């Protein structure tokens, strides 16, 4: 099996049973905020645009590059579809002219003309843009797992599909937190430092669970070429920067010692044979390393090449074309009307401070949208350039996370802890989307499948994203931590210490055992 790395999460897989193009990303995303790193803008893409199969893990814009797909990829290509609840990948691709699709089932291997394929899909409102997925491939000789930035919680399917020879996964930041928050600098630095460490440790834990002897960092980080966002780049291995590059993570992999890491850049070729990976770069090794040791120089040159593209992007933003308040009122209030679980989960007011575009309240208690009176306190606040909101209104973008929030072109304030329901709402700005989220939340009840832990009976599945606590639960000083995503719960009360909208079912056992006994992963 041969894999050509295309940048970010992009890869072109060649097997004896056909080729697969995965998540190509070449054009800037999120209002010109994200660019692939290392740069892939000078790459000849012609060898990769006629694959036998196309796999797009989800519809985040750094994985679903609509411009590239429309302009370059053969529309007769057969698409391997993840088992997502609303079929967004298929809907978006049909609009671009693609017409051949194979629908997969979550975690179920299938034979595609001799190529064994398994797509593991995630379907919680918090998973990507209402869905994310990873791709496993087996050509009869070699097995690989392209996890990209999905976060699977069940591993039985991987155990049955494997063992794997190579594992591609995200390790760096793909979020706006905590950079956009108006926290005191000392607090922001502490949160960022923790984020930098935990996201790499999470990736390492995934690598340990999958068990492939070779690991390839992918799916980020992006780089930021706009002057307004330039400071987000990690030029000097800043311990408070959440966007460490692959060399930082590979040092952690080396220390762990249970697998071998490989550095790749766009057009690096990996020849994968059972138990072995050979990497060939398109440039000499010393020039490869210079990309990372002289990142500032690499990005300065990249920035100069992309100046016109970025200027055109910013010039295209609409200004003064929309009356924002009545437009949002007409759009949001019907969604709020049916958002029972979501509204209760937020249970407060959000202030959208749009500067010249006005100050608008989204009231999740009364489920109304109205002008702020300048006095009433709000728990949440977003400060956003009105041009970005106008764009979302004009184009009826039903997922603001996939446009505004991931752009990092806003500021946020909150009183209290993170609230997952708030960001789920902004992913679900249509009746169809919010109905799905509502149905999902209604179904989330304490599991009948309980487990014993430190003298308590608790639900086996984490209330956050349903991770198996028999695998990922750790207890210290009465606090249960789901190590897969870092969420914490008070074992006695079930209260979530990470957020305020998730509660763990827990009940003390009358005759508690003297030792910790957690159910086995297959119990």
Query: Three-state SS string across 425-474, please?
Result: HHHCCCHHHHHHHHHHHHHCCCCCCEEEECCEEEECECCCCCCEHHHHEE
Distance, in Å, from the CA atom of 506 to the CA atom of 502, rounded to the nearest integer, reads 13
Using the predicted structure, report yes or no on whether residue 443 has a pLDDT greater than 70. Answer: yes
Using the predicted structure, report yes or no on whether residue 447 has a pLDDT greater than 70. Answer: no
Using the predicted structure, report yes or no on whether residue 448 has a pLDDT greater than 70. Answer: no
Within a domain: 516: no
One domain, residues 220 and 201: yes
| Mean pLDDT of the residues in the chain | 93
Give 496-518 pLDDT, tens digit per residue. Answer: 998 876 788 899 997 544 334 43
Within a domain: 319: no
Number of compact structural domains in the chain: 3
One domain, residues 282 and 136: yes
Give 109-157 pLDDT, tens digit per residue. Answer: 999 999 999 999 998 888 889 999 999 999 999 999 999 999 998 899 9
Predicted pLDDT of residue 472: 83
One domain, residues 276 and 402: no
Predicted pLDDT of residue 188: 95
| CA angle in degrees (0–180, nearest 5) for 399-198-412 | 40
Give the CB-side neighbour count of residue 284, counting CA atoms within 13 A: 3
One domain, residues 179 and 278: yes
One domain, residues 65 and 36: yes
Tell me how far apart the 2 most distant CA atoms of the chain are, in Å.
Answer: 70
- Write out the residue range of the structural domain in which residue 498 sits: 446-508
Q: Is 211 left (phi over 0), alpha (psi -120 to 50) or beta?
A: left
One domain, residues 375 and 244: no
Distance, in Å, from the CA atom of 212 to the CA atom of 90, rounded to the nearest integer, reads 31
Query: What's the CATH number where 105 sits?
Result: 3.60.15.10
Instruction: Residue 407: name the closest of 86, 90, 30 by CA.
Output: 30
Within a domain: 280: yes
Q: Which of 103-107, 212-216, 306-310, 484-488 has the lowest mean pLDDT?
A: 484-488
Max mean pLDDT among 215-219, 417-421, 474-478 falls in 215-219
Distance, in Å, from the CA atom of 183 to the CA atom of 70, rounded to the nearest integer, reads 41
- Across the range 376-394, mean pLDDT stands at 98
- Residue 471 pLDDT level (bands cut at 50, 70, 90): confident
pTM for the whole thing? 0.88
- Across the range 59-75, mean pLDDT stands at 98
- Output the CA–CA distances (angstroms, integers) from residue 215 to 1, 276, 465, 522, in the order listed: 15, 11, 25, 26
H-run or E-run covering 351: strand 349-353
One domain, residues 382 and 332: yes
Predicted pLDDT of residue 515: 39
Q: How far out from the chain centre does Cα 436 lie? A: 19
Within a domain: 315: no
- Across the range 235-249, mean pLDDT stands at 97
Using the predicted structure, report yes or no on whether residue 218 has a pLDDT greater than 80. Answer: yes
- Output the CA–CA distances (angstroms, integers) from residue 440 to 130, 340, 435, 443, in the order listed: 11, 12, 9, 5
Is residue 499 within 8 A of residue 449, CB to CB? The reply is: no
One domain, residues 291 and 338: no
One domain, residues 371 and 398: yes
Within a domain: 515: no
Is residue 281 within 8 A of residue 19, CB to CB? The reply is: no
- Across the range 218-236, mean pLDDT stands at 96
One domain, residues 197 and 290: yes
Q: Which residues make Cβ contacts (< 8 Å) with residue 514, sequence separation at least 6? A: none
Domain end among 441, 460, 488:
441
User: Tokens 């000078």, residue?
Assistant: 42
Query: What's the CATH number where 400 sits?
Result: 3.30.1050
Predicted pLDDT of residue 289: 98
Predicted pLDDT of residue 460: 84
Distance, in Å, from the CA atom of 458 to the CA atom of 338, rounded to the nearest integer, reads 31
- Residue 85 pLDDT level (bands cut at 50, 70, 90): confident
Q: Which residues make Cβ contacts (< 8 Å) with residue 474, sequence separation at least 6? A: 480, 481, 483
- Residue 305 pLDDT level (bands cut at 50, 70, 90): very high
Distance, in Å, from the CA atom of 243 to the CA atom of 192, rounded to the nearest integer, reads 10
One domain, residues 331 and 246: no
Q: Which residues make Cβ contacts (< 8 Å) with residue 44, sequence separation at least 6? A: none
Between 448 and 304, the more confident residue is 304
Using CA atoms of 205, 207, 213, 214 in order, give the dihedral in degrees to the nearest 10.
-130
- Across the range 256-279, mean pLDDT stands at 97
Within a domain: 221: yes
Predicted pLDDT of residue 513: 42
Predicted pLDDT of residue 467: 73
Residue 114 DSSP one-character state: T
- Across the range 278-306, mean pLDDT stands at 98
Instruction: Residue 366: name the closest of 393, 391, 399, 343 by CA.
Output: 343
Predicted pLDDT of residue 512: 43
Using the predicted structure, report yes or no on whether residue 463 has a pLDDT greater than 60. Answer: yes
Between 502 and 466, the more confident residue is 502
Using the predicted structure, report yes or no on whether residue 329 has a pLDDT greater than 80. Answer: yes
- Across the range 358-367, mean pLDDT stands at 98
Distance, in Å, from the CA atom of 420 to the CA atom of 500, rounded to the nearest integer, reads 9
Q: Give, to the nearest 10 degrees, the angle between helix 246-256 and helix 285-293.
A: 110
Give 16-37 pLDDT, tens digit per residue. Answer: 999 999 999 999 999 999 999 9
Predicted pLDDT of residue 446: 54
Within a domain: 521: no
Within a domain: 520: no
Predicted pLDDT of residue 337: 95
Q: What is the percent of the chain where pLDDT is above 90?
A: 85
Residue 126 DSSP one-character state: T
Domain end among 422, 441, 460:
441
- Residue 367 pLDDT level (bands cut at 50, 70, 90): very high
Using the predicted structure, report yes or no on whether residue 428 has a pLDDT greater than 60. Answer: yes
Query: What's the CATH number where 487 sits?
Result: 2.102.10.10
Domain end among 421, 441, 461:
441
| CA angle in degrees (0–180, nearest 5) for 123-115-5 | 75
Residue 230 DSSP one-character state: G
134 - beta bridge partners? 120
Count Cβ neighbours within 10 Å for each residue of 270-294 and write b for 16 or more, e otherwise. bebeeeebebebeeeeeebeebbee
Predicted pLDDT of residue 523: 30
- Output the CA–CA distances (angstroms, integers) from residue 165 to 213, 216, 257, 328, 446, in the order listed: 6, 11, 16, 50, 37
- Output the CA–CA distances (angstroms, integers) from residue 80 to 57, 117, 148, 154, 352, in the order listed: 9, 9, 16, 21, 39
Burial (CB count within 10 angstroms: exposed 0-12, middle 13-18, buried 19+), residue 116: middle
One domain, residues 120 and 221: yes
Predicted pLDDT of residue 511: 57
């Amino acid at each position: 099996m041969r894999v050509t790395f295309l940048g970010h999460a992009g890869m072109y897989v060649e097997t004896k049973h056909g080729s697969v193009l995965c998540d190509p990303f070449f054009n800037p995303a999120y209002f010109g905020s994200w660019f692939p790193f290392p740069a892939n803008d000078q790459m000849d893409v012609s060898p990769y645009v006629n694959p036998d199969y196309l796999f797009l893990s989800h519809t985040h814009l750094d994985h679903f590059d609509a411009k590239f797909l429309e302009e370059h990829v053969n529309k007769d290509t057969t698409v391997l579809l993840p088992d997502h609840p609303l079929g967004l990948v298929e809907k978006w691709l049909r609009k671009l002219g693609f017409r051949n699709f194979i629908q997969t089932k979550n975690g179920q291997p299938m034979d595609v003309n001799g190529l064994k394929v398994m797509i593991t899909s995630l379907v919680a409102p918090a998973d990507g843009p209402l869905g994310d997925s990873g791709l496993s491939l087996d050509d009869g000789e070699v097995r690989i797992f392209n996890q990209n930035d999905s976060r699977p919680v069940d591993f039985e399917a991987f155990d049955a599909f494997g063992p794997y020879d190579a594992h591609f996964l995200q390790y760096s930041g793909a979020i706006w937190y905590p950079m956009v928050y108006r926290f005191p600098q000392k607090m922001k630095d502490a949160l960022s430092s923790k984020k930098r460490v935990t996201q790499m440790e999470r990736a390492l834990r995934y690598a340990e669970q999958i068990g492939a002897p070779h690991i390839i960092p992918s799916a980020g980080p992006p780089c930021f070429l706009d002057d307004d966002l330039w400071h987000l780049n990690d030029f000097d291995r800043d311990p408070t920067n959440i966007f460490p590059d692959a060399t930082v993570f590979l040092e952690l992999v080396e220390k762990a010692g249970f697998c071998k890491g490989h550095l790749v850049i766009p057009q690096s070729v990996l020849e994968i044979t059972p138990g072995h990976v050979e990497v060939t770069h398109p440039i000499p090794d010393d020039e490869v390393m210079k990309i990372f040791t002289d990142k500032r120089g690499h990005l300065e040159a990249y920035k100069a090449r992309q100046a016109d593209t970025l200027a055109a992007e910013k010039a295209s933003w609409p200004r003064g074309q929309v009356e924002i308040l009545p437009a949002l009122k007409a759009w949001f209030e019907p969604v709020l009307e049916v958002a029972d679980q979501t509204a209760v989960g937020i249970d407060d007011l959000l202030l959208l401070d749009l500067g010249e575009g006005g100050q608008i309240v989204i009231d999740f208690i009364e489920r109304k949208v109205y002008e702020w009176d300048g006095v009433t306190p709000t728990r949440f606040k977003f400060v956003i350039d009105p041009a970005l909101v106008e764009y979302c209104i004009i184009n009826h973008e039903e997922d603001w996370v996939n446009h505004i929030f991931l752009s990092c072109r806003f500021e946020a304030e909150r009183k209290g802890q993170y609230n997952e329901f708030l960001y789920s709402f902004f992913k679900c700005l249509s009746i169809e989307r919010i109905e799905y989220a509502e149905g999902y939340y209604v179904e989330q009840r304490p599991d009948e499948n309980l487990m014993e832990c430190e003298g308590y009976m608790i639900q086996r599945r984490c209330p956050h994203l349903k991770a198996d606590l028999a695998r990922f639960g750790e207890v210290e000083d009465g606090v249960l931590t789901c190590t897969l995503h870092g969420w914490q719960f008070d074992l006695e009360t079930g209260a979530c210490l990470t957020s305020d909208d998730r509660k763990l079912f827990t009940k003390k056992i009358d005759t508690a055992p003297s030792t910790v006994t957690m159910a086995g992963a297959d119990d």
